[in-house]
Amino acid sequence: MSTNKPLDKWEEALEQQVKILQECQLKYNVKSCSKCDMFLKCPTRKQYIKAVYESMNKGVSGGFEF
């Protein structure tokens, strides 16, 4: 069920990071970041994780735990 509501700035940033991450995975021929040698030190993955966190808390810091 789609509501077609516009994306907020955090959702837009997340969508952009998803595209960047997927392009990186294609470039390195991996289906998951965990299969990549750069897994723990990858700046692309770190930006993606940051975008996920920010889209979940909508810019409000604290109060969220994995």
What pTM did the predictor assign? Answer: 0.75
pLDDT in tens, 15-48: 999 999 999 999 999 999 999 999 999 999 999 9
Please check whether residue 63 lies inside any domain of the structure: no
Instruction: Collect all residues with Cβ–Cβ distance below 8 Å to 41 and sequence separation of at least 6.
Output: none
What do you get for the CA distance between the two ends of the chain, in Å? 27
Look at the chain and report how many structural domains it folds into: 1
Please check whether residue 32 lies inside any domain of the structure: yes
Task: Provide the residue range defining the domain that includes 43.
Answer: 9-57
Please check whether residue 66 lies inside any domain of the structure: no
pLDDT in tens, 6-17: 778 888 999 999
Structure tokens at 6: 């516009």
Please check whether residue 40 lies inside any domain of the structure: yes
